[in-house]
């Protein structure tokens, strides 16, 4: 009995694969056991292909993220992470099936033919390792996105800080000469206004040189 829920293509592929390799069926293995073996082998091979395609999608998303930064869709990255977690979870359950096949508690497979299923168990373990690795890559992808967001936020805050540094001397002088004191001697000086502008200009130039040397500009 082969159960395919709304997926006749999988059934046809497995049957076609079994028929194609019927002539090379190993000696001593009964037909039913061979069908079990080929069915599992075909499905696991398809799963490897799916994981490889998913890996290509992760690599493409990573390149897109490196070139576009936070303009990439965080929803797509989150969906990839969720999908990889589900794949890892189901593949972990599949490893239990592989262990049960080798333990052969119900004697479904004869001891003579059990050796053919060791390869199946090995493939399942490799699939789980592959799925785990892909999940780690999607987590790295999310971390890369978060780093990109943090970097852009830091750059924005850095620009605001620089603007504040330049604006602070102006604000100090504005507050100083905006006080309601009667005796401010330099207000009566003929060139006081221009001297004040000159002092401000020198201060701002000094700040610019300092920030330039500190590589903050």
**pLDDT tens-place string over residues 150-203:** 888 888 888 888 899 999 988 988 888 888 777 777 777 788 888 888 989 999
CA dist., res. 84 & res. 76, Å (int): 12
pTM of the model: 0.65
Domains in the chain (CATH in brackets) are 8-145 (1.20.58.340)
Q: What is the pLDDT of residue 116?
A: 78
CA dist., res. 202 & res. 208, Å (int): 10
Please name which of 173, 62, 40, 189 lies closest in space to residue 54, comparing C-alpha atoms: 62
Q: What pLDDT, in 10s, does the model give residues 80-118? A: 999 999 999 999 999 998 888 888 877 777 777 788 788
Encoded tokens for 199: 């002092």
Encoded tokens for 12: 């046809």
């Amino acid at each position: 009995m082969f159960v395919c829920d709304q997926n006749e293509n999988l059934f046809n592929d497995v049957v076609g694969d079994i028929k194609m390799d019927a002539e090379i069926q190993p000696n001593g293995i009964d037909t039913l056991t061979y069908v079990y073996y080929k069915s599992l082998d075909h499905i696991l091979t398809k799963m490897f292909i799916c994981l490889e395609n998913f890996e290509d999608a992760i690599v493409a998303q990573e390149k897109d993220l490196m070139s576009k930064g936070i303009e990439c869709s965080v929803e797509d990255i989150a969906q990839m992470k969720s999908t990889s977690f589900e794949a890892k979870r189901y593949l972990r359950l599949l490893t239990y099936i592989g262990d049960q096949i080798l333990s052969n508690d119900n004697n479904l497979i004869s001891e003579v033919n059990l050796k053919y299923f060791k390869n199946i168990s090995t493939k399942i373990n490799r699939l789980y390792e592959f799925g785990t690795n892909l999940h780690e890559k999607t987590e790295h992808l999310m971390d890369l996105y978060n780093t990109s967001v943090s970097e852009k936020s830091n750059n924005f805050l850095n620009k605001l800080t620089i603007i504040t540094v330049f604006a602070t001397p102006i604000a100090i002088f504005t507050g100083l000469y905006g006080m309601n004191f009667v005796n401010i001697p330099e207000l009566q000086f003929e060139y006081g206004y221009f001297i004040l502008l000159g002092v401000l200009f020198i201060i701002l130039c000094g700040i610019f040189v300092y920030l330039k040397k500190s590589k903050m500009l």
